[in-house]
Copies of this chain bind each other. A is one copy, B any other.
Amino acid sequence: MENPLTPEVLADPVALTRALVDIESVSLNEQAIADHVEQALRGVPHLTTFRHGNTVMARTDLGRAQRVVLAGHLDTVPHNDNFPSTLRGDLLYGCGTSDMKSGVAYALHLAVTLPEPRYDVTYFFYEAEEIESTYNGLFLVSEAHPEWLRADFAVLLEPTYGVVEAGCQGTMRAIVTTHGERAHSARSWRGVNAIHGAGEVLRRLQAYEGRRVTIDGCAYREGLNAVRIVGGVSGNVIPDRCEIEVNFRFAPDRDAAEAEAHVREVFAGFDLAVTDMAPGALPGLDNPAAREFLTAVGAEPVGKLGWTDVARFAAMGVPALNFGPGDPNLAHHRDEHVEIGKIRDGAATLHRWLAAV
C-alpha cells in the first residue's frame, strides 16, 4: 500500500491529522500506522529511528544541552460509526481526531520539518495506550529500552483543548468489606446484616469533602467515591458480607503511602484492602525547558485531574505535561472532532517553542 503520509501531507498538520485518522489503528491493530510512520521518519537525514513492536521513535542528536520528548499514542478506541474522517466546516470529525492523532500529527510534522530544534528532541509514537497497561508501548519501552526515554522534559500531546495541563492526579482503589452473621430472614434478629453495616461506609463517602490544592499554580481536586457495591446470599438470608469498592483520586503532593494512609483513616474501623495504586505526578514546572514551553504557550497551566501517561514519565524522572488541540470531553465519543483552528494554533505554539534560538 502506498504511504498516505506524503511529503506534502507531512508539511501540513491539518492534512496530516486527517491522513492519520484515516489509517485504522484500533488498539492492537497498529501495525499499518506504525509502518507508515516509521517509513516517513526513516528517510529524514537529521533523525535516527528505532522501533519496538508497533512503537516508533526518532531522535535528533545535535549535542544540545537539553533533550525533550514529544509523545503521542497511535491507537484509538473502537470505531463508533465515525470512521473514516469527515470535514464539516472548520471541524474535522472522526475516531482519533481529538484523542489523539492531531497531537501525533504535531510530533510527526515537527520531526520531519524542523532539522535544527533548539533542544535535542525525541519523537515518540507508541502503541496500545487505550487498553490495559501491559500492552502500553510507553510502558514496554520503559522496561525494554529505558535509555530511549532519557530526557529533561516531556510533552504528551493528549487532548487539552490548547491549554497546558501539568502533572496528574494519582488513583487508588480499595475494597472495604463489612461483616455480619447469616440468619434466616424470618428471624433476622438472630443475625447481623452486613449490608446494613455498609450504610456507615456510604455515609462517610457521602460526607467526604475532596481536598483542593494548588501546586506550582496548578489546581487539583481530590475525590473519594464508591464505584461498585455487592452483597447478598439469597432472598431469605441475612447477608454476612458486603463489599464496597472505592476509588480515590488524589493530588500529586501525596505519594502512594500517604494516599493509602488517608483512605484507611477515612474508613477507620472497617476491613480495607488496597487493590490498585497508581501515584500521580507533580507538575515539575521549574525545569527550564518547561518554563520556556509555558512562555511559548503564553498561558497559565492547570492541574490534570485524570491519571495519564505523564505519570510514567514522572516515574522515570522526566517532568511531563499534557498539551494538545483536541477537546478531552469529546474523546471516546461518537461525535469526536477537532477544530482546524486549534490544530493550527497549537502547531504554531510548538514551532515557536522549538524553533526559537
Residues of A within 8 A of B (CB): 169, 171, 173, 184-189, 193, 195-199, 202-203, 205-206, 210, 221, 223, 225-239, 242, 244-245, 247, 249, 276, 305-307
Q: Are A232 and B221 in contact (CB under 8 A)?
A: no
- Chain B residues with CB below 8 A from A188, complex form: 210, 223, 225, 249
Q: Are A236 and B229 in contact (CB under 8 A)?
A: no
Of A187, A203, A227, most B-chain CB atoms within 10 Å: A227
Distance A161 CA – B238 CA, assembled complex (angstroms): 24
Residue pair B231, A235 in contact (C-beta under 8 Å):
no
Besides A187-B223, A187-B305, A196-B206, 16 other CB < 8 A contacts?
Answer: A185-B223, A186-B223, A186-B305, A189-B221, A193-B205, A195-B228, A197-B206, A199-B202, A199-B206, A226-B239, A227-B233, A228-B239, A229-B232, A229-B242, A230-B232, A235-B247
CB distance from A105 to the nearest CB of B (A): 26
Question: 12 A-B residue contacts at CB 8 Å?
Answer: A185-B223, A185-B247, A185-B249, A186-B305, A188-B223, A189-B210, A196-B205, A198-B229, A199-B205, A227-B239, A228-B235, A230-B230
**CA A235 to CA B249, docked complex, whole Å:** 12
Selected contact of A245 from candidates B173, B223, B232, B242, CB within 8 Å: B232
Residues of B near A185 (CB, < 8 A) are 171, 223, 225, 227, 247, 249
Compute how far the CA of A73 lies from the CA of B206 in the bound complex, rounded to whole angstroms: 50
Name the B residues within 8 Å of A225 (CB-CB): 185, 188, 193, 195-196, 238
A245–B238 CA distance with the chains assembled, in angstroms = 12
> Could you say which residues of chain B place their CB within 8 Å of the CB of A189?
210, 221, 223
Which B residues touch A230, using CB under 8 A? 229-232
Chain B residues near A199 (CB-CB < 8 A) = 199, 202-203, 205-206
In Å, the complex CA distance between A202 and B178 comes to: 13
A236 vs B245: C-alpha distance in the bound complex, in angstroms? 11
- Residue of B at shortest CB range from A201? B199
- With a cutoff of 8 Å between Cβ atoms, the chain B residues found around residue A236 in the complex are 171, 227, 247
Q: Are A234 and B229 in contact (CB-based, < 8 A)? A: no
Find the B residue at minimum CB distance from A239.
Answer: B227
**A188-B249, A225-B238, A239-B228 are known contacts. Are A195 and B305 too (CB-CB below 8 A)?**
no
